[in-house]
Amino acid sequence: MTTNSDAYFDEQFPLSAIDDFMIHQTADPIRVVASTDPRFFERYWCICHDDVGELLVVTGGSFYPNLDTAEAFAIVNHQGQHRSVRAFRRLGSDRMDLRVGPLHPQILRGMREWRLTLAENDWGISFDLLWRDTRRQIYHAAYSPLDRSTRGRQREVTAGFEGFGTAVGWVTVGGRRIDVSSGSFHGTRDRHWGIGRGVGGPAMQMGRRHKAGWIGGNWIELADAAIWGNTVLRKFGDPRPGMGKVAHVERRLRFEEATRIFTEGEIDYTLDDGVCKRVRFERLGFQTAYMRCGMYGGTPEGNIFHGMYVGDDVVEGDHYDVTRAEVRSGLIGLDEHHCRIICDGETTTGILQPLEPDAYEACRDGKPGWSFL
């Protein structure tokens, strides 16, 4: 999407309108990022779901300043009908404009409220959701190991924060409008930036094969512990500082025989305060977001990876019936399963995200912390 302001600022490169704000941290203009690595990215991601296992919404987007590309996606799975929209454009000069095609997220209050919208499109899904954060976000950074492959240099740093929250608004699927409220629609989100493993596909991986997410994501908001990956997030105003950590994880999982896709399991989380949480996961029907449709690991049909140039102002999508085993088996990769969550007498819903079929193979091979249920 090229605007008049983009053309206007071309003659003032590398300056842009955001440079007029009093926000600089270095002597560089905002359009110039610290690293020349083409995989440098800024990314948002959010997943919302009901508590009955009928509606699952995932949306996200990325900017790649060194590639001058922007992309965004939305996935809606309603009762096993898995629909996706993906959009692409040149990044241009206005880093404040998050719109990409029919997707238009807006930051209403930083780290508190977002508005997530998807306009009508050819794939029969749209939404208008007001997201509110409910857990304290804490900055942290992940670094790659310093070894011979990096020649002792730190080259892959990803940083950011995560949180839990609720959403209100509506979602339409195939012409049917579904109203959602904060009491029935909730989930999690993250904001990350840095050097993105997997950006640009295999061609940009510098000779190394990354299996992003192999250890598996999990997003569980219990009354006394909100577990996000290996962290424990606390409510705003909690007298305890910062966040807690998950010290150890033991997984016992079960899979579909034909597809090797997760169905149920138990995971023991040992927290840094010594408390052990045994959590039961039960996948709700076929309510999974297959993230290859969001470009994680290459799209199912076009093999489009994050950061790849697709074209200016391109919008595409797909529709799969994931109640069919042969369809599911063609989509597996980084998969977000909507699950019933049972722990210490409490029942809620959340997300388990294994990389498949790697999770099955880890259980089969008896990797530390992995076994069959």
* Residue 209: pLDDT over 70: no
Range in 14-28, 72-86, 269-283, 342-356 the model is least confident about: 14-28
- Residue 209 placed within a domain: yes
User: How many CB atoms are closer than 10 A to CB 257?
Assistant: 9
Range in 53-57, 90-94, 156-160, 306-310 the model is least confident about: 156-160
Of 235, 133, 129, the residue nearest 188 (C-alpha): 133
Residues 251-268: tens digit of each pLDDT = 999 999 999 999 999 999
Q: How many domains does the chain have?
A: 1
User: How many CB atoms are closer than 10 A to CB 86?
Assistant: 25
Confirm if 61 and 73 have CB atoms less than 8 A apart: yes
- Taking phi over 0 as left and psi of -120 to 50 as alpha, with beta for the rest, 191 belongs to beta
- Count how many Cα atoms sit within 13 Å of the Cα of residue 212 in the half-sphere of its side chain: 21
- Residue 103 placed within a domain: yes
Residues 208-232 as b or e (16 or more Cβ within 10 Å = b):
eebeebebbbbbbbbeebbbbbbbb
pLDDT for 200 equals 81
How far from chain centre, in Å, is Cα 157? 17
* Residue 204: pLDDT over 80: no
* Residue 210: pLDDT over 90: no
In sequence order, the 6+-apart residues with CB closer than 8 A to the CB of 283 are 262, 263, 264, 337, 338, 339, 352
Residues 329-370: tens digit of each pLDDT = 999 999 999 999 999 999 999 999 999 999 999 999 999 999
In sequence order, the 6+-apart residues with CB closer than 8 A to the CB of 86 are 71, 72, 73, 293, 294, 295, 299, 304, 315, 316, 317
- Residue 115 placed within a domain: yes
Confirm if 212 and 296 have CB atoms less than 8 A apart: yes
Give the span between the Cα atoms of 118 and 58, in whole angstroms: 11
Mean pLDDT rounded to a whole number for the chain: 91
Contacts by residues 17-26 (CB-CB < 8 Å, ≥ 24 positions apart): 17/93, 17/94, 17/96, 18/94, 18/95, 18/96
Residues 49-90: tens digit of each pLDDT = 999 999 999 999 999 999 999 999 999 999 999 999 999 999
pLDDT band at 202 (very low <50, low <70, confident <90, very high): confident
Range in 30-39, 85-94, 161-170, 312-321 the model is least confident about: 30-39
- Residue 97 placed within a domain: yes
**Token pair recorded at residue 355:** 């990389």
User: What percentage of the chain has pLDDT greater than the value 70?
Assistant: 91
* Residue 308: pLDDT over 50: yes
Give the span between the Cα atoms of 73 and 61, in whole angstroms: 6
- Residue 304 placed within a domain: yes
Task: Give residue 260's domain range.
Answer: 4-10+41-372
* Prediction pTM value: 0.93
- Residue 19 placed within a domain: no
* Residue 213: pLDDT over 50: no
pLDDT for 5 equals 53
Range in 25-34, 114-123, 169-178, 283-292 the model is least confident about: 25-34
- Residue 225 placed within a domain: yes
pLDDT band at 111 (very low <50, low <70, confident <90, very high): very high
Confirm if 213 and 68 have CB atoms less than 8 A apart: no
Residues 139, 274, 249, CA angle at the centre, nearest 5°?
70
* Residue 155: pLDDT over 90: no
* Residue 143: pLDDT over 80: no
How far from chain centre, in Å, is Cα 270? 24
Q: What is the CATH number of the domain that holds 64?
A: 2.40.370.10
- Residue 33 placed within a domain: no
